[in-house]
Amino acid sequence: MLAIARSELIQIFRNRLILVTSMIMPAAISAFFVYRHEVFAQLGSIGYIAAVVLFTITAVGLYASTVTTLASRRQNLFLKRLRSTAAGDIGIIAGLLLPATLIAVVQVGAILTVLAVVAAAPVHVALVVAGVLASVAMMIGLALATAGLTNSPEHAQVTTLPVMLGVIGIASWVGISGTEELTLLKRLLPGGAATELITAAWNGGTPASESLILLAPTIAWVIVAIALATRMFRWEPRR
């Protein structure tokens, strides 16, 4: 697994397109939100900015790049060749996903730390961390499921758009409008409960024990995404 991860990390830094889409672009967008935090806080709150930063990085930098990578590795038969080695299926997938996941987590952690310094620190740090990790797991699961429907790296530009734009839009919708209305719908949509959790944990005002229940919808999406990925993921190109 580690050998696969090391090789994949080298490929990320060699591929300028992947480097820009997975690292530079989401980091730049997130940095703008932090730089203009006073303006965006008027729309929602500091917690809303944290949620948008999280889903911008995980949707663009982790989800989209993972789908593109898996589609590319399948198309050039790299996945098929890896299955002929001693590495198991889980080890292969983990090795391929580890670099992008670590990059996304480091980016989120760094930018949210800066946000805490320049704006306001989260009231419940542990809940914010839990929300971030659950969201990362959800985006990885959705990436694996989407990769099963994606025939090529070029096709990934189309197949990733609904989820990528959807979770960012849902985070903005929930972060700005709150969940006083359409509560169940907003919490059941992917990223909705996580946005509410991170917003409440960052801003305070809601007991931690009450916010913990908001992890349930995100974990449910992780289970659904993995179940879909198990059924749809392909190791060889579609014929």
Domain boundaries, the chain: 2-232
Cβ distance 112 to 66 under 8 Å?
no
41: Cα within 13 Å, side-chain hemisphere: 14
* Dist. CA 167–CA 15, nearest whole Å: 26
- Cα gap 134→144, rounded to integer Å: 16
pLDDT for 239: 60
pLDDT tens by residue, 51-86: 999 999 999 889 998 998 898 888 888 888 888 777
So what's the pLDDT on residue 8? 79
Whether 4 contacts 87, CB under 8 Å: yes
At residue 26, the pLDDT reads 81
Give the whole-angstrom CA distance, residue 55 versus residue 167.
7
pLDDT band, residue 4 (cuts 50/70/90): confident
Q: At residue 1, does pLDDT exceed 80? A: no
Q: With 80 as the cut, is the pLDDT of residue 13 above it?
A: no
* pTM for this entry: 0.92
Segments in 78-207 forming alpha helices (H) = 78-82, 89-118, 125-147, 153-159, 161-177, 183-188, 192-203
Question: pLDDT per residue over 77-126, tens digit each?
Answer: 888 888 877 778 888 899 989 998 999 999 999 999 999 998 889 999 99
**Interatomic CA distance for residues 132 and 124, integer angstroms:** 13
pLDDT digits (tens, 9 = 90+) for 148-201: 888 888 888 899 999 999 999 999 999 999 888 898 999 999 999 999 999 999
* Rounded (10°) angle between helices 2-14 and 89-118: 60
Helices 161-177 and 192-203, packing angle to 10 deg:
40
